[in-house]
Structure formats: structure tokens, C-alpha cells
Amino acid sequence: MEEIFEEVKIVHPKVNEDKISNESPQEMVERLATLKAHSIRSSSIVVAADTVVELKGKIFGKPSNVEKAKEMLRDLSGKWHTVHTGVCIKKEDKELSFVSSTRVKFHDLDEETIDMYVRTGSPLDKAGAYGIQEDLGMILVEKIEGDFFTVVGLPISRVWWEIKKLNLK
């Protein structure tokens, strides 16, 4: 991202990521991105994001352990699901938030592939127990419909254009 923005500082804000009852996945990620952005005190541009995976109305966040990761991957195996990334951009009194959603289809995964991927450790800190961009996560995905970077966790192209629209540069 340093190629796009002059200086990037990554901060991991601590916010309660629990879902609120009757909240849609889209509402949830937008709310959490906004909470994260508001938790950071800075005179610079703040870009905060949160990502979840949705399968038939069920939200898949980060798995709590290896078995949960395997269970999530089995559930997603061979199916289309949607990745929702909420983003909040703010600088002083200017603020904007949005949600970007992308559909992803997994290959039919066998236990050997699931075990091999989970052993990398990557699934434990990823929504839906996978990262399309790293380790073996890239072999899980058969196809996508939408923005690849939404699945990664930050739709960078849209972030760029929204910052320009807010005239924050």
C-alpha cells in the first residue's frame, strides 16, 4: 500500500466484535469498521475495516481454534458464499463508511487439503478460516464474482476513490 499512500501505519484496535441481535452481516462489518476508526486518535487519514464470510445467512468470523477452522472450511467446501468487508474512512470531521461484498466459490475440499491448510496456522486469524492471498488459501477458491481485494479484507481501489471524493489528500 505504500505505493498508493505515502505512509501507512498499521494499528490493531481492540473493539468488541460480537454480533448484535438482528444485525445483518453488512450492518455488522460497517459498525465494527466505524468503531475501529473511532478508536484511533490521529490527525491523519484513518482507514478501518472489518470482514466476515456469510453462507446462507450464517456469519463466519475468525475461528476460535483448529477444529472450528476445519468445520468452517468443510461448511464452505464446494459452495458459493459472500465476503463482506466494511470500511470506515475518517479524518477530523470528515467521515464515510461503506460495505463491499464479493461472492466466492470454493472447490470441493478433501480432508487432506483442509488439514494441510489448517496446519499453516493462517486460518486462525481469518474470517471464514481462509485467506485467499496467502499460503494454501489461494488453492481453495475456484472462482470469485467481485473485487478480489474485498476478499483479502480491504477493497483498496474503492478506498482510494472514496478518499479522493472526500478530498482528504
100 part of a folded domain: yes
106 has a pLDDT exceeding 80: yes
69 part of a folded domain: yes
Residue of 36, 130, 152, 148 lying closest to 88 (CA atoms): 36
Partners of 87 in the β-ladder: 49, 98
168 has a pLDDT exceeding 80: no
151 part of a folded domain: yes
Positions annotated as catalytic residues are: 50
Residue 7: pLDDT band with limits 50, 70, 90: low
Cell of 155: 477493497
Q: Say which CATH number the domain at 69 has.
A: 3.90.950.10
pTM: 0.91
30 SS3 class: helix
124 part of a folded domain: yes
10 part of a folded domain: no
Please tell me the distance from the alpha carbon of residue 85 to that of residue 102, in angstroms, as a whole number. Answer: 9
50 part of a folded domain: yes
- Specify the higher pLDDT residue, 17 or 81: 81
How far from chain centre, in Å, is Cα 5? Answer: 20
Lowest-confidence pick of 14-18, 23-27, 67-71, 84-88: 14-18
Q: Give the structural domain span for 42.
A: 25-166
1 part of a folded domain: no
Please tell me the distance from the alpha carbon of residue 135 to that of residue 5, in angstroms, as a whole number. Answer: 26
Please tell me the distance from the alpha carbon of residue 161 to that of residue 154, in angstroms, as a whole number. Answer: 13
| pLDDT (0 to 100) of residue 136 | 86
Residue pLDDT, tens place only, 62-105: 999 999 999 999 999 999 999 999 999 999 888 999 999 999 99
38 part of a folded domain: yes
**Number of structural domains in the chain:** 1
